Amino acid sequence: MTTVAAPEVVDEVAFAALKAEIAEYVETEGERWTELIEAEGRVPQELWTQLRDRGYLRLAAPREFGGAGLPFPRYLELLELFARPHASLRMIVHVSNGTWRSILPHANADQLDRFVAPLIRGDLKIAFTLTEPHNGTGADITTYVEREGDHYYLTGEKWLITFGHISDYLLLFARMRGSVGAQGTVALLVPSHGEGVTNNLMGDSMGVRGTDHAHLFFDRAPVPVANRLGAEGDGLTVALGGFLVPSRISVAMTCVGLAQKALDLAVAHAKERITFGKPIASRQAIAFRLAEAAADLQAARQLTLFAAAQWESGAGGAAESAQAKLFASEMLQRVTDHALSVFGGAGYFKSPIERVYRDARAQRFEEGTVEVQKQTIARELLA
């Protein structure tokens, strides 16, 4: 079990400069990448390289492994900014700054060298691989392994795996054949295009265009036992403990960032659009719609930061992360609905607000649906 030093005290001057740098980046380079991704329907490798070289893919990682060591709530301040241009850009930043959380606490010295350090440097892509098409995302997974000597042989199916096609490895969760429940689960680092792996790109999506999602099939794919994280039976602990809670909080903050983009677009349009000699911003119906959106957005931001502080302090996390994700994802739908209404029919045609509206729909499902979040909250509330 690897232990990590607590995040260092933030140099506020340096952090302010970094935040200003990222704000400028998303408004300039970020918008350029948005136009390119929407036009071509793909995310160029050059974007990954640029984000890596700027240090944006290791903002939250510990300093001892090459990261910037930012405390989680401060990292979220930056992630909110990255959520304002294209969803594929924020997805790269979010996933790269989070996947190591599952691996690091369970990695041995060899795995730190082979996987954690190059992942944090941005030299390796690892896709979180839990979801299956025919069951939920948890103890009912059916993808299984059989151990023979120093290898596991993996059989099953996974889908909706973000960056699963372009990744080098899959951080994959399966069960020992014949086991039931969480006790039989294992966490494995599986070569994405290795022997026995069929790795297919899924079709085009409504939003988050350009981000690849893989549909994976495994036919006795060999995986070295040396690529297992933790012990047999630790699979869901690796999956849910290290990654899911902070990832839900992170997704909540990306909802805040995209909602802020939608509100900014709507406010600008309301000031510019003239009807009957006046900007529509002067109409009470429009002004009140924008005011409601602003209050809704700020409530989601503060709830998300509270959840982040609770998780980082060790005082809680599961219920708070679900509350943040539930409220922020539903807030995003309300705010983007308001924003599109402000644009009227013009917003329905290809435009920045149309793209934001499409991208917003995906975040209802990331890291669990609304119903999953409610179930998590209710379980702790009624325990």
List residues with catalytic annotation: 367
DSSP state of 187: E
> How many residues does the structure list for the chain?
383
- Please state, in angstroms and rounded to a whole number, the distance separating the CA atoms of residues 362 and 3: 34
The H or E element containing residue 220 is strand 213-224
The DSSP string of 136-152 is -SSTT---EEEEETTEE
Angstrom distance (rounded) from CA 24 to CA 18: 10
Query: Rounded CA gap, 189 and 126, in Å?
Result: 8
Q: Which residues contact 367 (CB under 8 A, 6 or more apart)?
A: 244, 247, 248, 251, 325
- Nearest alpha carbon to residue 223 among 136, 101, 129: 129
- Nearest Cα neighbor of 344 from 283, 297, 294 is 283
Report whether 22 contacts 81 (CB < 8 A): yes
Inter-residue contact 156 to 220 (CB < 8 Å): no
> Residues 380, 319: contact at Cβ < 8 Å?
yes
Nearest of 199, 209, 123, 127 to residue 163 by alpha carbon = 127
* DSSP annotation string for 148-174: ETTEEEEEEEEEEEETTTT-SEEEEEE
Secondary structure of residue 217 in the 3-state scheme: strand
**Best CA proximity match to 271, nearest among 286, 288, 292, 289:** 286
Please report how many Cα atoms fall inside a 13 Å half-sphere around the Cα of residue 305, on the Cβ side. 15
Closest by CA to 72, choosing from 305, 242, 301, 257, is 305
